Amino acid sequence: MNDQNEHPQRYALVNELHARPSPQLEAPCTAVYLALKERGDAANRDRAKDVEHLAELCVRHGAARPDSSVGHHAAQLGRYQLRWESHTEFVTYAAFMPGLPPRPFDPSAGAIFADDWQRQSHGKRVAAVMIQVDFLPDDPAEIMPRLSAWFASDSLTMVWVLEEAAVVAGDFRIDPAGWMRFAVFVKRGTDSGRIGRIVQRLLELETYRAMSMLGYGRARIVSEQLNALEPQLNDIVQSMTDDDRPAETVLHELLAVSAQLESAATQHAFRFGATAAYEAIVHDRVVALRERRFMGGQMLTEFMTRRYLPAMRTAKSAENRLATMLDRSERAGDLLRTRVDVWRGAQNQELMQRMDKRADLQLRLQHTVEGLSVVAISYYAVGLAGYALYPLASALGIDKAVLVAGLTPIVIGGVWLAMRRIKARLHDGHP
């Protein structure tokens, strides 16, 4: 095969499909699991710190340090088989050991994740899960006393999974040691890969449920902000019809509210988007378990519908409400711009009317001035012409008054014609 014909990422992308297989587990066994997330913008965190924290755990248990650029890692740490993965917002540590702790869900099973080591992490726990895998008795009803002792009855879920290959039970509560507990009872002869897939799906179910619930917390914050901004926006919209309020004042108020809404949308958009994605994964993992009712108990789907989906609806409602208020503020801005445009149009019309009146007055004044100019020029012209023609008039015996009277209309007509010609040439653009 010619390597020149291969896309440079083909092999890397195919290998990624097989980079994180489900663990191979044999009953009985115990799984302990942590999901750690940094506060704030965890998606843009320094991932080298995550690898360094992983390296510290490996060194503690005598294993080799991982490569600094890895996104997933597997190692044998004493009795534990460790699997580490880096995700967009969080990192996960899953440790599997054969056998069961001395007491059911004994915190000592999680000793691999020492408290001092956890405190060194830049992230905080968003999920901590302990799963015990044991064999299912020939009579499945025999596990009921144990489930009643281990879990709270009001939230206990117990279901058959994967065509009745195993029974999964849990109450989605955190025990005094900080672990969320699940019990898995598998039928004898169940394939190790199937057991591993059951455990992996339970771990992912709890992880993405916890991550999606972050959106619920964010929704409560957003709702408080919107509760404060909505009355302000309503007052601004209502004040647009009040001619006594200057448009500039209303505009400043609207800009302040719009800026806060845009800031909230920018700040919370990622969280709401991630919440929707995590919720979809939760439902996918529940479906992948292919659950069936066990001994009349509550199913995972029923628990999610009653306890989980309302929180997701709250998050979605807050997101939709924020989007709606953004649209309202935008429409309010459009209305305000229309009001300002109408007001400016009225001002421009009034200004044009004033200019027309001023131009009419100027035209009348100009005509008056032109008339006075003709009279003044004619007066002086008649005087000059009289002086020039007095000798001739005396020789002809013409009276001076008669001479002036005869010159006056002629001079006035000549001056008027001259002024008309000058005005016409100016209007035509000639010098």
Task: State whether residue 28 is helix, strand or coil.
Answer: coil
Radius of gyration of the chain, Cα coordinates, nearest whole angstrom: 46
Average pLDDT over residues 8-37: 80
Quote the pLDDT of residue 160: 96
How confident is the model over 224-245, as pLDDT tens digits?
A: 999 998 898 888 888 777 766 7
> Which ranges in 100-245 belong to alpha helices (H)?
115-119, 144-150, 192-239
Contacts of residue 303, Cβ cutoff 8 Å, sequence gap at least 6: 155, 157, 172
What 8-state DSSP symbol labels residue 305? I
Given a contact cutoff of 8 angstroms between Cβ atoms, the answer to whether 172 and 239 are in contact is: no
The residue with greater pLDDT, 196 or 345, is 196
Task: State whether residue 205 is helix, strand or coil.
Answer: helix
Of 132, 111, 131, 113, residue with least CA distance to 36 = 113
**How far is residue 361's CA from residue 171's CA, in Å, rounded to a whole number?**
92
How confident is the model over 67-82, as pLDDT tens digits?
A: 888 888 999 999 999 9
Q: Which percentage of the chain shows pLDDT scores above 70?
A: 82
> If pLDDT is split at 50, 70 and 90, which confidence band does 369 have?
low
Quote the pLDDT of residue 343: 65
The residue with greater pLDDT, 287 or 238, is 287
Beta bridge partners of 168: 159, 184
For the cut 80, the answer to whether the pLDDT of residue 406 exceeds it is no
Structure tokens belonging to residue 371 = 């008339």
Contacts of residue 169, Cβ cutoff 8 Å, sequence gap at least 6: 143, 147, 150, 151, 156, 157, 158, 159, 182, 183, 184, 185, 297
Rounded to two decimals, the pTM is 0.77
Count CA atoms within 13 Å of residue 329 on its CB side. 25
Residue 306 CB: number of other CB atoms within 10 A?
Answer: 11
**How far is residue 99's CA from residue 199's CA, in Å, rounded to a whole number?**
15
Quote the pLDDT of residue 398: 72
Average pLDDT over residues 303-308: 92
Quote the pLDDT of residue 352: 78
**How far is residue 92's CA from residue 85's CA, in Å, rounded to a whole number?**
5
Contacts of residue 111, Cβ cutoff 8 Å, sequence gap at least 6: none
> If pLDDT is split at 50, 70 and 90, which confidence band does 15 have?
low
For the cut 70, the answer to whether the pLDDT of residue 13 exceeds it is no
How confident is the model over 38-53, as pLDDT tens digits?
A: 988 888 888 899 999 9
Out of 149-158, 186-195, 246-255, 296-305, which region has the weakest mean confidence (pLDDT)?
Answer: 246-255
Tell me the pLDDT of the chain averaged across its residues: 85
Tokens 């059951």 belong to 198
How confident is the model over 20-31, as pLDDT tens digits?
A: 677 899 999 999
Structure tokens belonging to residue 323 = 């989007």
For the cut 60, the answer to whether the pLDDT of residue 345 exceeds it is yes
Quote the pLDDT of residue 294: 95
β 29-37/180-186 pair status: unpaired
**How far is residue 346's CA from residue 40's CA, in Å, rounded to a whole number?**
51
The residue with greater pLDDT, 29 or 401, is 29
For the cut 60, the answer to whether the pLDDT of residue 137 exceeds it is yes
**How far is residue 131's CA from residue 203's CA, in Å, rounded to a whole number?**
9
**How far is residue 363's CA from residue 22's CA, in Å, rounded to a whole number?**
95
Rounded to whole angstroms, what are the CA distances from 285 to 21, 167, 202, 205, 315? 15, 16, 8, 6, 21
Quote the pLDDT of residue 348: 74
For the cut 60, the answer to whether the pLDDT of residue 33 exceeds it is yes
Residue 101 CB: number of other CB atoms within 10 A?
Answer: 17
Quote the pLDDT of residue 255: 85
**How far is residue 113's CA from residue 243's CA, in Å, rounded to a whole number?**
68
For 216, left (φ over 0), alpha (ψ -120 to 50), or beta? Answer: alpha
The burial of 326, by beta-carbon neighbours within 10 Å (0-12 exposed, 13-18 middle, 19 or more buried), is given as middle
